[in-house]
């Protein structure tokens, strides 16, 4: 069940790439190949016991092209141990950098799920990542990316909500999306795409970044007004 994170957990990140080499000239293929190589990690019981949520995004600066695995943990040392062991055992992956909190503190001292708006944001990030991973695997990389890109470049600019375009495909290919729908959270999920969870973090950016690998100009005033209209649309 997603949209179920507690208030007390600690966040951190791993920057994951290939062992012994940088991403190639076509870094899009490398990015998705690394993401696919990480999939078995997300199914491991020891990962899921310590790590209650996560999200993935593309880091595309010239000196740091990698997959960033952002985690929400109830046991930071265990999360670090499990992820590092997985990368080492893979023989192909390498952790290029890590960003972690002071793991000597008890988890009750961390409130990464506070205030409520921050918890809502991180619940969305976790749910969206799981849905997108399933879409990439079962609907296909090109189909999923093209559908999202077409929505952003065409339907979004005509003030259409995403449900008529994507709901049917998501319901068919993503078990997490079906779970969200069954629990009456599907409108919340799509609304979260148009919310500015922080001043610089609109939800749709994270789907766009994870799937299309692009930095769109979401901060333009016309987009803020458009997203508010879409939030209010039936």
Q: Looking at the structure, do residues 95 and 132 belong to the same domain, yes or no?
A: no
Q: Looking at the structure, do residues 150 and 198 belong to the same domain, yes or no?
A: yes
Per-residue pLDDT tens for 102-115? 777 888 888 888 89
Q: Looking at the structure, do residues 28 and 54 belong to the same domain, yes or no?
A: yes
Q: What is the DSSP letter of 16?
A: E
Judge contact between 83 and 28, C-beta under 8 A.
Answer: no
Structure tokens at 157: 């600019």
Q: What is the pLDDT, as a whole number, of residue 24?
A: 67
Tally of domains within the chain: 2
Residue range(s) defining the domain that contains residue 72: 10-109
The CA distance from 136 to 52, in Å, is 22
Domain boundary among 62, 85, 109: 109
If pLDDT is split at 50, 70 and 90, which confidence band does 27 have? confident
Peptide bond preceding 45 in cis form (omega within 30 of 0): no
Q: Looking at the structure, do residues 99 and 126 belong to the same domain, yes or no?
A: no
Q: Looking at the structure, do residues 55 and 135 belong to the same domain, yes or no?
A: no
- Let me know if residue 225 belongs to a domain: yes
10 Å CB burial of residue 229 (0-12, 13-18, 19+) is exposed
The CA distance from 138 to 216, in Å, is 26
- Let me know if residue 157 belongs to a domain: yes
- Let me know if residue 3 belongs to a domain: no
- Let me know if residue 2 belongs to a domain: no
- Let me know if residue 137 belongs to a domain: yes
Please tell me whether residue 131 adopts helix, strand or coil conformation: helix
Q: Looking at the structure, do residues 143 and 223 belong to the same domain, yes or no?
A: yes
Regarding beta strands 10-18 and 196-198, do their DSSP bridges make them parallel or antiparallel, or are they unpaired? unpaired
Tokens 């065409």 belong to which residue? 154
Bridge partner list, 54: 71
The CA distance from 95 to 84, in Å, is 7
Q: Looking at the structure, do residues 86 and 191 belong to the same domain, yes or no?
A: no
Q: What is the pLDDT, as a whole number, of residue 25?
A: 58
At 34, which CATH number? Answer: 3.30.70
Q: Which residue has the higher pLDDT, 218 or 76?
A: 76
Q: Looking at the structure, do residues 152 and 217 belong to the same domain, yes or no?
A: yes
Peptide bond preceding 115 in cis form (omega within 30 of 0): yes
Domain boundary among 70, 89, 109: 109
Per-residue pLDDT tens for 142-185? 999 999 999 999 999 999 999 999 999 999 999 999 999 999 99
Cα-Cα-Cα-Cα dihedral sign, residues 111, 116, 120, 121: negative
Q: Looking at the structure, do residues 222 and 136 belong to the same domain, yes or no?
A: yes
HSE toward the beta carbon, residue 108, CA cutoff 13 A:
0
Per-residue pLDDT tens for 59-92? 866 556 689 999 999 999 999 999 999 999 999 9
Domain boundary among 109, 130, 155: 109
């Amino acid at each position: 069940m997603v949209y179920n994170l507690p208030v007390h957990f600690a966040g951190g990140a791993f920057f994951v790439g290939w062992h012994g080499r940088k991403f190639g000239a076509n870094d899009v293929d490398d990015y998705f190949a690394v993401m696919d190589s990480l999939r078995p990690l997300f199914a491991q019981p020891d990962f899921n016991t310590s790590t209650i949520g996560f999200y993935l995004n593309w880091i595309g600066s010239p000196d740091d092209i990698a997959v960033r695995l952002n985690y929400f943990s109830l046991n930071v040392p265990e999360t670090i141990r499990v992820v590092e062991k997985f990368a080492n055992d893979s023989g192909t992956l390498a952790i290029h950098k890590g960003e972690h909190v002071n793991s000597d503190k008890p988890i009750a001292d961390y409130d990464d799920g506070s205030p409520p708006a921050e918890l809502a944001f991180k619940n969305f990030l976790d749910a969206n990542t799981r849905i997108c991973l399933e879409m990439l695997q079962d609907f296909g990389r090109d189909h999923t990316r093209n559908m999202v890109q077409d929505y952003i470049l065409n339907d979004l600019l005509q003030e259409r909500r995403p449900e008529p375009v994507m709901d049917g495909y998501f319901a068919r290919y993503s078990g997490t999306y079906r779970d969200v729908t069954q629990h009456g959270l599907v409108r919340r999920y799509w609304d979260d795409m148009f919310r500015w969870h922080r001043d610089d973090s609109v939800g749709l950016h994270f789907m766009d970044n994870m799937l299309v690998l692009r930095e769109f100009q979401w901060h333009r005033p016309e987009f803020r007004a458009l997203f508010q209209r879409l939030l209010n649309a039936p």
